[in-house]
Amino acid sequence: MNKTIFDLQPKLENELILLRPLSDEDFEDLYKVASDPLIWEQHPAKDRCERNVFELFFKDAITSAGAFAVIDKKIGHIIGSTRFHAVKETKNAIEIGWTFLARKYWGGFYNSSMKRLMMEWAFQFVDNILFYIDEKNVRSQRAIEKIGGERIIALEGAVLEGRPGASVIYQITKKKWDRHSRSVEGN
């Protein structure tokens, strides 16, 4: 398996969504989604719905060179954003995070569909996908558990460092994902 850094902003799509690199031109459309305070109610940055706070988040997303605009293919509009991020402790993992969707898309197939696209891409290059989540963000923890995430504190012998606002770490391994995908296809 190739353990080098891979393209963190490929164009990924399925029948529901298109993930494409986030661009400066996406700010207004993405801010329309992010301006809903309920999106951030379990997030440590509850004020991210405010324009000046979201501008900093957006600039960081652009600078990351791993951020996506999430497009609902049926209507052709941005419904959220997500990112890939390198994990400093190992080259055999990638983080998926900074994800948010318009509330209308919660609890359905959109989040799992987006994560599936990203994981299928990333598992061509690494064996581990990590998700860093705030301990109070139960909604995000449950969403990751639904797709097979398990809480961890170390990976390949290295203790993983959380960060402010993202102290709980979940992992999905390629091996587990392959088994999960085969069982879903078999049903």
Residue 19 included in any domain: yes
Residue 7 included in any domain: no
Number of Cβ within a 10 Å radius of residue 99: 20
Residue 35 included in any domain: yes
Average pLDDT over residues 8-37: 97
Identify the pLDDT of residue 1. Answer: 42
Residue 1 included in any domain: no
Residue 26 included in any domain: yes
With a CB cutoff of 8 Å and minimum separation 6, the contacts of 97 are: 82, 83, 85, 131, 132, 133, 166
Average pLDDT over residues 24-37: 98
If one counts the domains in the chain, the total is 1
* pLDDT single digits (tens) 63-98: 999 999 999 999 999 999 999 999 988 889 999 999
Structural domain harbouring 168:
12-186
Residue 3 included in any domain: no
**pLDDT beyond 80 at 4:** no
Residue 164 included in any domain: yes
Contact 56, 87 (CB under 8 A): no
CATH number reported for the structural domain that contains residue 131 in this entry: 3.40.630.30
Identify the pLDDT of residue 187. Answer: 45
* pLDDT single digits (tens) 114-140: 999 999 999 999 999 999 998 888 888
Residue 50 included in any domain: yes
